Amino acid sequence: MMRVRPKRLQKGDTIGIVSPSSPPGREELVKSLLFLEELGLKWKFGKHAKNINGYLAGTDEERLEDLETLFQDPEVNGIICSSGGYGAGRIVDQIDLQIMKEHPKVFWGFSDITFLHTAMGLYSNLVTFHGPMLGPNIGKDTFEDLSKKMFQQLFEPMELHYTEDISPLETITSGVARGELIGGNLSLLVRTIGTKFEVDTAGKLLLIEDIGEEPARVDGLLNHLRMAGKLKEVAGVVVGDFARTETEKKWTLTLDEVLDHYLKPLQVPVVKGFKIGHCEPHFAVPLGVEAKLDANEKTLTILPGVE
């Protein structure tokens, strides 16, 4: 079943700002609002979006309330997450996902937000967007022009084309694969296994990225996916950015050796080096739309994410 594409944004539309995970940095958040203005957008904070509860942006009840309220708010045309961190998984089983199905809107974020992307894909049948967030990304001086340009896909249906003009790519396994693009943060995808939100990889192009996981940890995560049968079902694998994977251990495999060990035997197209994840530039992509991975030509083509 084709997922529902949200309605495109227009200049003058209002974006709802939610914090389903950790609190955003205050200074970066203020700077990021200027970028929303540059896009011609207004904004509306969730009632609790600036709350701080330890490593969480407010209580579970508050974060849940903001998410459901803004999706139902007729003044709000799209929703962007202020930051990732940790916490979305604590509320995912309490969200009324029928709300998102009945009020389809642009929903944008990544990292810890992967849990919400996966849940909305499974139960709201909604195309969502894996892209940089307000506090940790957009509000930083390091936010690059290409990252900014990726927001234009919200204003007009456009095919995205990733080639080596953006970054060097490396084919792990050649071939051409088509399928729905799904996935996101590897650690979060593994955490869905055994829950009602378990990631469905059958016939899909699986996107994986992560940060701060040394090769032995990435090995464990990929092995978990393998043992859960999630790798043998994929149509292809899009390997995004694995940031800060260095280890001080004397004896280690490299990240490339780990990726090759798990992904080469799949005998499906696999390409690594995509600037998708905790990196700059950050190539934002819609999740839940058809895409084509050409590992021979080293290109990724993704259909539009909005109507």
- Asked whether residue 138 falls in the same domain as residue 50, the answer is yes
pLDDT at residue number 248:
84
Residues 237, 118: one domain? no
Whether 285 and 198 share a structural domain: yes
Measure the N-to-C terminal CA separation of the chain; round to a whole number of Å.
17
Give the total number of structural domains in the chain: 2
List CB contacts of 133: < 8 A, sequence separation 6 or more: 24, 80, 81, 82, 83, 84, 108, 109, 110, 111, 113
Catalytic: which of 48, 117, 130, 278?
278
* Domain carrying residue 78: 14-154
> What is residue 27's predicted lDDT score, i.e. its pLDDT?
86
**248 catalytic, yes or no?**
no
Residue-wise pLDDT tens digits, 31-55: 999 999 999 999 999 999 999 999 9
* Domain contains 136: yes
115 and 181 both lie in a single domain: no
Residues 196, 259, single domain; the answer is: yes
Per-residue pLDDT of 219-251, as tens digits, reads 999 999 999 999 999 999 999 999 999 888 889
112 and 147 share a domain? yes
CA distance 273 to 71: 34
pTM, to two decimals: 0.97
Give the pLDDT band of residue 68 (cuts 50, 70, 90): very high
SS3 34: helix
Q: Is the pLDDT score of 168 beyond 80?
A: yes
Whether residue 32 lies in the annotated active site:
no
Output the DSSP codes for 157-221.
---EEE-TTTS--EEEE-SEEEEEEEEEEHHHHHHTTTSTT----TTPEEEEEEES--HHHHHHH
- Residues 260-290 pLDDT 10s: 999 999 999 999 999 999 999 999 999 999 9
The pLDDT-based confidence of 84 (bands split at 50, 70, 90) is very high
Identified catalytic residue from 209, 213, 214, 282: 209
Q: What is the DSSP string of 115-127?
A: HHHHHHHHHT-B-
Choosing from 105, 122, 154, the residue where a domain stops is: 154
In a domain, 3, yes or no: no
Mean pLDDT of 62-87: 98
Flag whether 8 is in a domain.
no
For residue 147, pLDDT over 80 is answered with: yes
The pairing of strands 176-185 and 290-294 is antiparallel
From the candidates 82, 111, 147, 187, give the one annotated as an active-site residue. 111
| Percentage of the chain modeled with pLDDT above 70 | 100
What are the b/e assignments for 261-298, b being 16+ CB within 10 Å?
ebbeebebbbbbbbbbbbbebbbbbbbbbebbbbbeeb
CATH of the domain at 213: 3.50.30.60
d(CA 184, CA 70): 23
Residue 286 lies in a domain: yes
22 counts as catalytic: no
| 166 lies in the same domain as 119 | no
